[in-house]
C-alpha cells in the first residue's frame, strides 16, 4: 500500500523537475540571446581597421556568424548563418551592422527591457526589446534571434 502512494509522489516530483528545467532553459536562452546581441553590437561598433581581414574581406566580416541568412537559397533560408564571402550576403551583413549602429549602438547604456519567444514558420524567435537614447530621445527596438546549431543568430530588427 505504501508503495502505491510513492508512485504519484515520484510522478509529481518528476513533473516539477521538468517544469523547473523548462524555466531554466528559457532563462538560459534569454542570457544566451542577450550575450549574442551584446557581442554583435560590439563587433558592429568596434571595427579594427588594422586587422588585415578588414581590408581583404570587408568592414563587418566578424558579424556574419551572428546574422541569419535569408535570401534566395531556400535550403539555407532561416537555417544558416550569413557567408560574408558572398557579395549579396556581405551587403546584408553590412546593412545589419549599419542599422545596429543607428539604433542601440547610439547609446552605450542601452537597456534590454523585455525578452519573449514567438513561434513562427522559421522556428522559435527569441526577441529582445531594447531601449536606447538617440539625441536624448528614448527609442525602442526589437532584435529577433533564431537558434541554429546551438547558437543564436540575429534574424530581424524591428
What gap in Å lies between CA 123 and CA 152, rounded to an integer? 12
Task: Provide the whole-model pTM.
Answer: 0.81
Grid look-up 542577450 returns 34
- Look at residue 27 in the predicted model and tell me its pLDDT: 72
Residue 86 has pLDDT above 50, yes or no: yes
What gap in Å lies between CA 145 and CA 142, rounded to an integer? 10
What gap in Å lies between CA 30 and CA 35, rounded to an integer? 9
Which CB contacts under 8 angstroms, 24+ apart, belong to 11-15? none
Q: State the average pLDDT for the chain.
A: 86
Domains in the chain: ranges and CATH: 2-157 (3.10.450)
C-alpha cell at 131: 531601449
Handedness of CA 34, 40, 45, 48 (dihedral sign): positive
What is the band of 125 on the pLDDT scale with cuts at 50, 70, 90?
Answer: very high
What is the band of 21 on the pLDDT scale with cuts at 50, 70, 90?
Answer: very low
What gap in Å lies between CA 61 and CA 77, rounded to an integer? 20
Amino acid at each position: 500500500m505504501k508503495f502505491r502512494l510513492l508512485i504519484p509522489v515520484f510522478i509529481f516530483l518528476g513533473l516539477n523537475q521538468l517544469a523547473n528545467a523548462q524555466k531554466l532553459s528559457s532563462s538560459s536562452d534569454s542570457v544566451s540571446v542577450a550575450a549574442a546581441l551584446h557581442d554583435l553590437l560590439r563587433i558592429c561598433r568596434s571595427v579594427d581597421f588594422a586587422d588585415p581581414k578588414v581590408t581583404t574581406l570587408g568592414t563587418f566580416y566578424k558579424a556574419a556568424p551572428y546574422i541569419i541568412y535569408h535570401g534566395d537559397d531556400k535550403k539555407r533560408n532561416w537555417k544558416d548563418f550569413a557567408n560574408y564571402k558572398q557579395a549579396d550576403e556581405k551587403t546584408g551583413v553590412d546593412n545589419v551592422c549599419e542599422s545596429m549602429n543607428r539604433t542601440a549602438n547610439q547609446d552605450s547604456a542601452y537597456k534590454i527591457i523585455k525578452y519573449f519567444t514567438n513561434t513562427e514558420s522559421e522556428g522559435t524567435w527569441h526577441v529582445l526589446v531594447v531601449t536606447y537614447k538617440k539625441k536624448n530621445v528614448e527609442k525602442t527596438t526589437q532584435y529577433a534571434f533564431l537558434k541554429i546549431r546551438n547558437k543564436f543568430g540575429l534574424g530581424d530588427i524591428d
